[in-house]
Chains A and B, each alone.
Chain A
C-alpha cells in the first residue's frame, strides 16, 4: 500500500508484533526498550564518530522504521523513511565514576518513545570516566534485537577505523526492506502456514494442556487455583501492573565454561538445549518432580548473510515444552530437548501469538495467565567490537535493562570476552528476590555440571543429588 508520500506500508512481522502487543497489553513502551553503551579506552575523534553514526542511519534501514498509530484492533503498520539526518548529541560523564555513569545511563534506558510515526532510535556520543569514549544506543525492540545491535556497533566502528586509519570500508549491509519483504512473503504462504499450524496443534493434541511450573515451587499455581476457584487450573497469573525488574549477573569462569562447550561439541548438542535442560530440571526439582515443564525460549531468526546484516527485530519466543520422566538419563534428556527444539526451528515462521490463542480457545484459561515462569535467551555473540584496529584496546560495553519486565524471570546467557559466560537474571521484584536468583543459578550449575560429569545418571538421580 502506498501513502501520500509514496511510502510503502508493511504489516509488522510476528517478531515485531510480539513486542507491539506487549506495549499495548502493558500500556507502556518501556517494555520494548533496548539500550547499550559501547566504548573504548582511547581518545575518539567525535566529529568523525558523529559522521559515522549519521552514516549508519543511511546504511542500516531498520533505524529509519516508523510505526503508525494502532487501529481499532491494535494493529499498526510500519514504513521506512528515506532519510534521518539528525544531529547526534554528546554527553560528557568523564567527571563521574564508572558506577555513577552506568547508573545515569541505566536511567536513560527507562525512558520511553511515546507517539506514533516518530523515530524509535536514539544515539548519543559519550565521554565516559577512566578515559573511555564511545556511544550509547537506545532503541525500540520493534526495530532491532540484540544481535542486530551488535552488528550495528561493529559496522559503526568499521566505518570509524576506515575513515580514521584507512582500513577497508565495511561490506554493504543487507537491505532491510528487501529482507522484510521476503519474510512477509514466507509468513503469508498458505502452504507453509498450514504446515506450521498443524505442527503446533499436533503438539497440543499429543500432550494436552501444559502445566505451570514456578521458580518458587507449586504454591504459586495453588494460589492461582484458589483465586480463580478452579482446582484443576493449570495456568498461573502473570503480573500486569508492577513490572519493575532487577538484574542479577553471575559470571561462570572460562574453565567451567569450556567444560560445558566441550560437552556440547562432543555430543553434538547446542548450548541452548543444554541450558534449557538445566532450567527445566531445576523447575522439576522445585515443583516436586513435575515432569511436564514449559520454558519460553527466544530464537534469533538469523541464518543467511542477509538476515545477519539486515538488522531488524528477528528474535521471537516459542514455548519449549518437555515431558521428561525422572528415569531418563541426562544425555537422552538433552537429546529429547534438542529434538523438540529442532522441530520448533523448522516451524519458527509461525506467529507465537496464534499458539497462545489456540491454547486459550481449547482450555479456556483466565485472562493474563501463563504456563511459563522462565524465559531464556542464549546469545552466542559477545558484545565486542570485532575489529583488528581495536583488538588491543580495553572496551566497556554494557546492556541496560529497560526496567519493565513482561516476564517473571528472564535469563540471558552470553559469552564474556575472556571465554567465560554471563548469566544475567532479570526478575520482577513484585514476586522474586535476589535470593531466588541465587538459588536458581546455584542449582542450575549443580545440575549442569553433575550431568556433564555423569551423563548416564538419570534426571531423578541428579535432582536427588544436588
Chain B
C-alpha cells in the first residue's frame, strides 16, 4: 500500500468516503464532515501511525486532504 493510500485509509475511518473515492481537494470539515474533535483526534492518530510530531500552529492551517498529506511528507523529510 502506498503511503497516500495508507493515509487515506486512516482518513476514511472518520468519514463516509472510501479511500478510493477520496480526492486531495476534499476539505475535512465541509466535504468529509469532520468535527473539530474528529480532526484533532485524526491528527493525533497521524502522529502515532507515522511517528511524526505536528506543531499545533501548522496543523490548524490544514483544511484539505492534500494539505494534510503535504504536511505529513514535509515532516517526514525533515526527519
A349 touches B44 (CB 8 A): yes
Number of A-B contacts (CB under 8 A): 45
Within 8 A of B (CB), among A321-371: 338, 341-343, 345-346, 348-349
A299 interface hit (Cβ, 8 Å): yes
B69 interface hit (Cβ, 8 Å): no
B13 touches A345 (CB 8 A): no
> Provided the pairs A192-B48, A303-B14, A304-B13 are in contact, do residues A346 and B43 lie with their beta carbons within 8 angstroms?
yes
Contacts of A301 in B (CB 8 A): 37, 41
Contacts of A345 in B (CB 8 A): 36-37, 39-41
Contacts of A195 in B (CB 8 A): 53
Return the CB mask of B33-75 against A: 1 if under 8 Å, else 0.
Answer: 0011111111110011000010010011000000000000000
A189 touches B35 (CB 8 A): no
A306 interface hit (Cβ, 8 Å): yes
| Cβ-neighbour of A299 out of B37, B42, B48, B60 (below 8 A) | B37
A40 to chain B, nearest CB (A): 28
A154 interface hit (Cβ, 8 Å): no
B60 touches A303 (CB 8 A): no
Cα(A285)–Cα(B60), bound, Å: 32
A270 interface hit (Cβ, 8 Å): yes
A268 interface hit (Cβ, 8 Å): yes
> Provided the pairs A189-B48, A192-B48 are in contact, do residues A306 and B40 lie with their beta carbons within 8 angstroms?
no
Contacts of A164 in B (CB 8 A): none
| Cβ-neighbour of A270 out of B35, B44, B53 (below 8 A) | B35
Cα(A305)–Cα(B12), bound, Å: 9
Cα(A192)–Cα(B52), bound, Å: 11
Cα(A349)–Cα(B29), bound, Å: 22
Contacts of A304 in B (CB 8 A): 13-14, 41
A383 to chain B, nearest CB (A): 19
| Cβ-neighbour of B56 out of A299, A305, A338, A346 (below 8 A) | A346
User: What is the chain A residue whose CB lies nearest that of B40?
Assistant: A345
B60 to chain A, nearest CB (A): 7
A103 interface hit (Cβ, 8 Å): no
Contacts of A346 in B (CB 8 A): 40, 43-44, 56, 59
Cα(A303)–Cα(B10), bound, Å: 12
Contacts of B60 in A (CB 8 A): 342
> Provided the pairs A304-B14, A305-B13 are in contact, do residues A343 and B56 lie with their beta carbons within 8 angstroms?
yes
Cα(A278)–Cα(B19), bound, Å: 39
Cα(A341)–Cα(B38), bound, Å: 12
> Provided the pairs A304-B14, A305-B13, A343-B56 are in contact, do residues A186 and B48 lie with their beta carbons within 8 angstroms?
yes
A251 to chain B, nearest CB (A): 25
Contacts of B48 in A (CB 8 A): 186, 189, 192
B13 touches A306 (CB 8 A): yes
Contacts of A348 in B (CB 8 A): 37, 40-41
B41 touches A303 (CB 8 A): yes
Contacts of A306 in B (CB 8 A): 13
B79 to chain A, nearest CB (A): 16
| Cβ-neighbour of B37 out of A189, A192, A303, A305 (below 8 A) | A303
B35 to chain A, nearest CB (A): 7
| Cβ-neighbour of A303 out of B38, B47, B53, B56 (below 8 A) | B38
Within 8 A of A (CB), among B1-39: 13-14, 29, 35-39
Contacts of A341 in B (CB 8 A): 36
Cα(A304)–Cα(B34), bound, Å: 10
A160 to chain B, nearest CB (A): 25
Cα(A270)–Cα(B38), bound, Å: 12
B33 to chain A, nearest CB (A): 11
Cα(A39)–Cα(B47), bound, Å: 44
Contacts of B36 in A (CB 8 A): 270, 338, 341-342, 345
Q: Which residues of A contact B (CB under 8 A)?
A: 186, 189, 192, 195, 268, 270, 299, 301, 303-306, 338, 341-343, 345-346, 348-349
Taking A195-B53, A346-B56 as given, write out 5 further A-B residue pairs in contact, using a Cβ cutoff of 8 Å, ordered by the A residue number.
A303-B14, A303-B35, A304-B13, A341-B36, A345-B39
Q: Which residues of B contact A (CB under 8 A)?
A: 13-14, 29, 35-44, 47-48, 53, 56, 59-60
What would 8 A/B residue contacts be, using CB atoms closer than 8 Å? A186-B44, A270-B36, A303-B14, A303-B41, A342-B36, A345-B39, A345-B41, A349-B44
